[in-house]
Structures are given as structure tokens and as C-alpha cells.
Amino acid sequence: MRKILIANRGEIAVRIVRACRDLGLSSVAVYSEHDRTALHVRLADEAVAIGPSPPAESYLRVDRIIAAAAATGADAVHPGYGFLAENPDLAAACVSNGLTFIGPPATVMALMGSKTAARRAARAAGLPLVPGTLDALDGAATDAELLGAAADVGYPLMVKAVEGGGGKGMRMVRHEHALLDAVRACRSEAMASFGDDSVYMERLLARPRHVEVQVLGDQHGTVRAFVERECSIQRRHQKLIEETPSPNVTPALREALLGRAARLASSVGYVNAGTVEFLLDADGGFYFLEMNTRLQVEHGVTEMVTGVDLVEWQIRIARGERLTLDPDRFVTPRGHAIECRICAEDPDTGFLPSPGRIETIDVPTGPGIRDDSGVEAGAEISVYYDALISKLMAWGTDRGQALSRMRRALREYQVSGVRTTVPFFRWLLHQQAFEIADFHTDSVDTLLQERNGEGFSDRDPSLEEVALMATALELAMRSRHVADRSVSAWAAAARREALRA
């Protein structure tokens, strides 16, 4: 393996470029029309255009990914996460074209990508399941069959897309009269997002926690499970904050979670990086939720507490190396790490996307701080792609220090040109529920309801006045053709600095 094509964009593409460079390998970026000047394109050794801005015409085109690999002489393809990362067609196309796919085999990906097939595999491996249907309910299922299946599962329940993921294709149903409408809505979203309208049902657990276990498997049968990640801080089933280790997982529960995750991965012949996800109930029980057959967005917090470079090991496993790391590095965390997903969304308008050009971006640094980003000043946040700007991470010797460092980093994080979720995180990390780790998957939605629409803006009103006065002065001088450029420049600079602050 000498050259790796990265079938992705943004932060994860930058992350893989840097891993390639650390290993002495060449990297090839692919890019859409919108991304022709993107950071991952500039950093890679080579770059290939693969189509227009819409993902369906570029990053989701298996044929164009394979053609780009052939044109550049790449030996392997790394899919990152999102886009084609869990698409078995890409994995199979790589193999048929003599390329190494840096991920699990296509057959394993297809097995675990189906939520119902994954549930059956987990049951066979001895993992406890959330009560629910084991078989898919496709479009041929009658209303009577749907109502009967729901009655067997019991209310309240979740209707989920069989091929779902990322919080899409999910509906909560509390009463029988709402079931059929929920199924229709879920089918519609599933077809639009995944091309398959099959659904299944699961009992809705009250106040669950969401915990996941990172696994690595080599081509020689060795599987290792890492200390768990806590992912319960979510909004509408979308993860916002992740941390490791979970502040509420006991050593005994950790041993059980890691053991079951490794058992499942071994039983299906898993190779490379993946994640087994669990729900924990209020009584301490745990249940298999799903398996993601790719690298996770939040892999960085695991790296910070284990010292293991997961992307590097993905590549090393793909080229046939044995997983030789000391097992103790996987299960014994060194300190604590927290991650906030900084997105171009406006929390004051219900987290609506905030596309536009990033004028300035000041990223915090210092002990224990890491920021993984795929953008820089001048970058354009597009409506075509995920609004993620960066993943801000903080490490400490314990959770208290990690939390203090994250709060400090959020105070220093400054972006102008687009609205971001930074003010929201500044508020959330000071909530008592987060401080004492007394939260579940619905906690954020409950806290937001209690705010009753109160905004998150933390700008000083006096700075807004300075910005307005500086703008007025600048416009007045331009209209009168005043020749004193130093004053005009001061006005423009004052406006920028006030808005940035």
C-alpha cells in the first residue's frame, strides 16, 4: 500500500490525509465543485474532481470514486464516515477493481447495516436486545399486521428504518391511534434517505443512556474492545457531546459491555474499526442497539484516553498487520476526554443551518485541547453538506479537569460570518445535570423546553452598539469620499472586532 484515496470531505478527510503522511503514504483527495478550494484538497498530495456540488452527483457516486482511484494509481480507498462509508457496494467495487477497502468486508457491512439482521446476529451472539420485532416490515405489511406487531412489542415504542442511521427514519409512538401515521412518515423518510422503506419496531425505554464501544479487528482473528464512550447528550436523536469513559459505568458493567461487543464482532468476522452501540436502562440493564461498520465521528476522545491512533490502525490492519497493542491500553482509560460538535447552526432559531462564508475563526489551544476541523477562514459552509465546522475536544486527568478545560476552550472559540452552536455549549456545560452527569437521551430536549425560547446569544450589547456606530462611520466616510483612509480602516476594523467579540 503506497497511495490511499480518501472518499470523503471536510474534517475526516483532513484527518486521514494527516494519518497517511505520518505513515509515509501518499494521499488522494476527491472533491465536488463546491470543494475545489477546500482544506482537504489543499493538504492532500493529489486531488481529483468528481462532479457537481450535490452529494448524489459526486461523493455518493461509487463509479466516480473507483475511476478517481484508477486515474491516480491509488492502492486503497478510505471511506471516512458518512457518504459511502457504510455502503457495501463501494467495498465490493474496491475488491473487484483490485483496491484495498479500508473497512470491513462487504458481506459483514451488509449484515450489520440491516438493523433487523444485526439484531438477529446480536441475539445469536448472546447480547440482550431491546424488545421488538426481529423481521423487517416492508411496504407489503397490512395495517392489521402493523398493529399486531406493535401490540406484541408494547407501547410506547419506536418505529425505525431498517437501513436507518444518523437519527433519520425514526418515530416515537405512545398510543395505538398514532401508529399508522408514524409508520407512513418513517417509511417516507427512510425511502428518501436510504432507498428502502422497510421498518421495524422497538420498545421505548424510559430515560435511557446511550453508550457505545469502539472495536478493532485484524485479519488474523484478533478483536479488541475499547473503554466505552458516553453519547447520551443528544438533540432529536443527534449526538451533541461525547465523552469517555462514561461517568456512570461501573467497572463490572464496563467489563460486560466490552466483552459482549468483542464477542459480537468476533462472531460476524469483523475486520477493521467499528462501534457497537448499547442502551442502558434506569435499573442498570443494557441492551444492544446497533453496530456502525465504520469509524465514528467521536473517535478522537477514545484516542485521547488510550493513546491509540485509530485511523493509523485502520490503515495498518487493512494492509495485513496484526493488532499487537497491549490489551490494557484498550480497557484502562488514562484520564477523561470530552468532545463538542461545533456546527454552523443558530441555536437562537431552533438550530437552523447557518450557511455562509467563515470570515474569521479563532480556535483555542493549550494543554489538553484538540480541535479537528476541515475548514479555515474564507471557507464556505454549504447547504449541500453537514454543518460540522469542527470537533472540539478537551482532555484532563479526571472529568472535572476535562470539563474545566472545555469550558475555557469554548470561551476562547470565536467564529464570525456564520452562527454556531458555541453559545449553546457554553450554556449546556454549566447546567447542573451535565456537571453531575445526571442525564439521559432526552435531557437536552427537556432543558431546551424549560428555556421557553430564551436565546443563547452571549454578546455584550455595548459591543453591538460599537459595531453599529463603526458601520455608520465607515458608510458616511465612503459616501463623502473622505480621503483619510486611516479613519476608514479603523472603522472597518472596529466593526469586525466588535462583531467577532
> Which of 83-87, 333-337, 395-399, 490-494 is predicted least confidently?
490-494
Residue type, 46: E
Q: Which residue do the cell numbers 454578546 mark? A: 459
**Quick check: 392 and 409 in contact, CB under 8 A?**
yes
Phi and psi of 98, rounded to 5°?
A: 75, 20
**Half-sphere exposure in the Cβ direction for 462 (13 Å, CA):** 0
Phi/psi of residue 459, nearest 5 degrees: -75, 145
Report whether 68 contacts 47 (CB < 8 A): no
Comparing CA positions, the residue from 260, 381, 254 lying closest to residue 305 is 254
Decide if 167 is inside a domain.
Answer: yes
Same domain, 325 and 249: yes
Question: In the structure, what pLDDT confidence band is assigned to residue 479 with cuts at 50, 70 and 90?
Answer: low
CA distance 499 to 501: 5
Rg (CA), the chain: 24
State the CATH number of the domain containing residue 224: 3.30.470.20
Helix axes 10-22, 310-318, angle to 10 degrees: 70
Distance CA 484, CA 55 (A): 48
Domain end among 203, 222, 254:
203
* pLDDT at residue 250 is higher than 70: yes
Residue 72 lies in a domain: yes
Examine residue 81 and state whether it is found in any structural domain, yes or no: yes
Residue 457 has pLDDT above 90, yes or no: no
**Cα 310 to Cα 308: distance, rounded to the nearest angstrom:** 6
Mean pLDDT, range 94-105, rounded to an integer: 98
Average pLDDT over residues 478-488: 53
Which structural domain range is residue 481 located in?
461-500
Share of the chain above pLDDT 70, in %: 91
Q: Which of 61, 224, 294, 419 is catalytic?
A: 294
Q: What pLDDT was estimated at residue 224?
A: 95
Whether residues 427 and 468 fall in one domain: no
| CATH code for the domain of 10 | 3.40.50.20
Cα–Cα distance measured from residue 86 to residue 118, given in angstroms and rounded to the nearest whole number: 14
For residues 86 and 193, membership in a common domain is answered with no
**Pair 428, 444 in one domain:** yes
Q: 329 pLDDT band (50/70/90 cuts)? A: confident
Same domain, 330 and 221: yes
What does the pLDDT average to over 380-397? 96
Looking at the predicted structure, is the pLDDT value of residue 336 above 80? yes
The pLDDT assigned to 480 comes to 55
- pLDDT given at position 146: 94
Residue 306 C-alpha cell reads as 488510550
Cα angle: 313, vertex 318, 322; to 5 degrees: 65
Tell me the residue ranges of DSSP E strands in 63-184.
76-78, 100-101, 157-165, 168-173
Q: Quote the pTM value.
A: 0.87
Among candidate residues 295, 313, 334, the one where a domain is terminated: 334
Cα distance between residue 386 and residue 411, in whole Å: 24
Q: State residue 459's pLDDT score.
A: 52
The reported pLDDT for the residue numbered 167 is 74
Phi and psi at 448, nearest 5°, equal: -65, -40
Q: Residue 152's closest CA among 125, 179, 126?
A: 179
pLDDT digits (tens, 9 = 90+) for 135-153: 889 888 999 999 999 999 9
Residue 93, pLDDT score: 98
Q: State what percent of residues in the chain have pLDDT above 90.
A: 80
Contacts with 400 (C-beta within 8 Å, 6 or more apart), sequence order: none
- Is there a single domain that holds both residue 283 and residue 395? no
Assess contact for 399 and 247: CB atoms under 8 A. Answer: yes
The pLDDT, as a whole number, for residue 282 is 85
Residue 340 sits in the same domain as residue 435? yes
Give the C-alpha separation, 6 to 38, whole Å.
14
> What local confidence, expressed as pLDDT, does residue 497 receive?
55
> How long is the chain?
501
CA 436/CA 400 separation, integer angstroms: 10
E strand spans, 175-285? 199-203, 209-217, 223-225, 229-235, 238-244, 272-280
Q: d(Cα 433, Cα 429) in Å, to the nearest integer?
A: 9
Which three three-digit cell numbers place residue 217? 479487528
Task: Establish if 126 belongs to a structural domain.
Answer: no
- pLDDT value, residue 245: 98
| pLDDT, tens digit, 9 for 90 and up, residues 26-54 | 999 999 999 999 999 999 999 999 999 99
The pLDDT confidence band at residue 460, using thresholds 50, 70 and 90, is very low
The confidence score (pLDDT) of residue 196 equals: 86
Question: What is the residue-averaged pLDDT of the chain?
Answer: 91
Res. 472 pLDDT band, cuts 50 70 90: low
| DSSP helix, strand, coil percent of the chain (3-state; round to 5) | 40, 25, 35
pLDDT band, residue 415 (cuts 50/70/90): very high
The closest of 41, 118, 34, 30 to 79, measured between CA atoms, is 30
The count of domains in the chain is 5
Domain co-membership, 347 together with 310: no
DSSP state of 137: B
Q: Are 28 and 45 in contact (CB under 8 A)?
A: yes
Cα end-to-end span (Å), the chain: 47
442: exposed, middle or buried (C-beta count within 10 Å: 0-12, 13-18, 19+)? Answer: middle
pLDDT digits (tens, 9 = 90+) for 118-140: 999 999 999 999 989 988 898 88
Pair (27, 65) in one structural domain: yes
Q: Is 155 a domain residue?
A: yes
Q: Do 372 and 472 sit in the same domain of this protein?
A: no
Q: Is residue 119 part of a domain?
A: no
**Residue 341 scores a pLDDT above 80:** yes
471 pLDDT more than 60: no
| 115, part of any domain | no
Higher pLDDT, 91 or 469: 91
Shared domain check, 296 and 231: yes
Question: Is residue 147 domain-resident?
Answer: yes
Whether 9 sits among the annotated catalytic residues: the reply is: no
Range in 47-61, 184-198, 268-282, 406-420 the model is least confident about = 184-198
pLDDT at 465 over 60: no
Whether the pLDDT of residue 268 is over 80: the answer is yes
Q: Tell whether 96 and 72 lie within a shared domain.
A: yes
Final residue before a domain boundary, out of 203, 231, 249: 203
